[in-house]
Amino acid sequence: MAILIDRETRVLFQGLTGTTATRMAERAIASGTSVVGGVRPGKGGGRHLNVPLFDSVAEAREATGADASAVVVPPQNAAAAMIEAVEAGMPLIVCVTERIPVLDMVRVRQALAGSGSRLIGPNSYGIISPGRCRIGVMPDRPHTAGRIGIASRSATLAYAAVEQTSRLGLGQSTSLGIGGDPVHGMTFSDCLELFLADDETDGVVLIGEVGGTDEEEAAALLRSEKPGKPVVAFIAGIHAPPERRMGHAGTVSLFGEGNAADKVAALTEAGAVIAKSPSLIGHAMQQALRNT
């Protein structure tokens, strides 16, 4: 099966009736995803896109049995929305919102600690298992069902990897964006553990970038687990100047840490195959599968 989501996933949209949430929900419904409701305080009892609206996540979850929530609200309200979903016991929370203050995300991480909830994002393109479920802002094409797991900090580079693995006939079991912010939910290590345990995933692509320690932690996991599945990695920002943010809020190397060269070295030592260019991710995976 795919990781985290499948055909049975029942999705709730926090912020439904907003323009972005409406567009996301429409695409999800068109793809066959089971969208069971929306949360919009003050509009409970109404309907939008032919699904019921509720005033709170707790009320919506009790009424619909939702087990995944998409947080599509403005940055100033996003932390409260995520914490509300955690307190309602939502198993999976996907936040696509950008520019959430770091201290707000610290509060979200505190709420997540010890809970049964997993958070993807924020500043994430979401998660998709082609033909099964999609929660996010990713394009409809060129995702195709297959057996490659993709976890990425960058949406654009993830879409490139999706296009290549689709074109080569490998397809994707699940593709998800861990987000480009310095404080976020699921990490590369979390994704790796799930992909390595998934019988329907034959290989894993990790797309990282400068800043943070997610890639080094993933490398430590690979050294410990020594998986039989190939792991291909691409790290953006080899030539990025230190102490300068390059795009995402989390793409900055400080105090001699978080630079791309060190991440590449750690992953190489751990046995990952390093793609030299984003255009070579698919071919690197194809060759790694042949060598396994």
pTM: 0.94
What is the amino acid identity at position 24?
A: M
Cα 77-245-271 angle, rounded to 5 deg: 100
Mean pLDDT of 157-174: 98
Q: Do domains 10-120 and 141-291 have the same CATH topology?
A: yes
| Cβ-contact 207, 153 below 8 angstroms | yes
Strands (E), 42-165: 47-48, 51-54, 68-71, 92-95, 118-120, 126-129, 133-136, 145-152
pLDDT bracket for residue 211 (50, 70, 90)? confident
- Dihedral angle at the C-alpha atoms of 265, 276, 236, 167, nearest 10 degrees? -130
Asked if residue 148 lies in contact with residue 169, where contact means CB atoms within 8 angstroms, the answer is no
* From 48, 143, 184, 248, active-site residue: 248
Q: Checking phi first, is residue 258 left (phi over 0); if not, alpha (psi -120 to 50) or beta?
A: left
Per the CB < 8 A criterion, the answer to whether 2 and 134 are in contact is no
Domain 10-120 CATH class label: alpha beta
What is the arithmetic mean of pLDDT over 206-212? 91
Task: Provide the residue ranges of all domains of the chain, joining segments of one domain with +.
Answer: 10-120, 141-291
Residue 246 has pLDDT above 50, yes or no: yes
Residue 248 a catalytic site member? yes
pLDDT over 90 (residue 260): no
Alpha carbons 93 and 95: distance in angstroms, whole number: 7
How many Å apart are CA 242 and CA 254, to the nearest integer? Answer: 7
Q: pLDDT confidence of 242, banded at 50, 70, 90?
A: low
pLDDT value of residue 126 = 98
Q: Does domain 141-291 have CATH number 3.40.50.261?
A: yes
Across the chain, what does the average pLDDT equal? 93
For residue 244, pLDDT beyond 80: no
**Average pLDDT of the residues in 191-197:** 97
Rounded Cα distance, 253 and 274, in Å? 20
What mean pLDDT is predicted for residues 230-246? 74
